[in-house]
Amino acid sequence: MLNSDEVSIDLGALLLRLTAGGTMFWHHGLVKLMKFGDLSGTFYDPFGLGSTLSLVLILLAEVACAILVVLGLWTRLSTLPLIIGMAVAAFMANGDGTFAQQELSFVYMMMFIVLFFTGSGKYSLDRLSFR
């Protein structure tokens, strides 16, 4: 017999993965990817790597890692670039702004931190692949 708490936790992890990873991919990653040419020369460069490399790094996080999070594949590892990217967005890129300007990045960062600690849950490729 299934424990309803376990099912609730696994469904919660699935919904969190789909929401955080899915919206990060569709709403943020793909938008940046489509505007790569326009953004590459002016993108925020917090670590002095250059605008283009900074854009490529956040695209890897927001596209590739977000897809992995949605699929539940290497979830904990995949959340790390997303956590770092959202921390940079919240505290560096928008660090001088109002909380309203930092809020979305902060909420995404916290969702990915939760997934880092909880893992992908039962309904994921991690569980199918790495039993």
Token pair 């919206």 is at which residue?
23
Q: Is the dihedral of CA 125, 113, 8, 119 positive or negative?
A: positive
pTM, two decimal places: 0.91
The Cβ of residue 88 has, within 10 Å, a number of other Cβ atoms equal to 21
Output the six-digit token pair for 26. Answer: 């569709």
Domain assignment present for 131: no
Residue 44 inside a domain? The answer is: yes
- State the pLDDT at residue 5: 77
Q: Which residue has the higher pLDDT, 100 or 129?
A: 100
Predicted confidence at residue 128, as pLDDT, reads 81
* Residues of the domain holding 118: 13-124
Assess if residue 77 is contained within a domain: yes
Query: What pLDDT sits at residue 131?
Result: 58
Tell whether the model's pLDDT for residue 119 goes beyond 60: yes
Q: Express as a percent the part of the chain with pLDDT over 90.
A: 85
Residue 61 in domain: yes
Q: What are phi and psi of 67, to 5 degrees?
A: -65, -45
Is the pLDDT confidence value at 7 over 90? no
Structural domains of the chain, count? 1
129 within domain boundaries: no
For residue 129, the model assigns a pLDDT of 73
In a domain, 28, yes or no: yes
DSSP H stretches of helix in the chain? 4-23, 30-34, 36-39, 51-59, 66-71, 75-88, 99-118, 125-129
Q: Specify if 2 maps to a domain.
A: no
Q: How confident is the model at residue 71 (pLDDT cuts 50, 70, 90)?
A: very high
The structure tokens listed for 44 are 């925020």
pLDDT of residue 127: 86
For the cut 90, the answer to whether the pLDDT of residue 111 exceeds it is yes
Task: Assess contact for 43 and 52: CB atoms under 8 A.
Answer: yes
pLDDT of residue 46: 95
Is 6 within a domain?
no
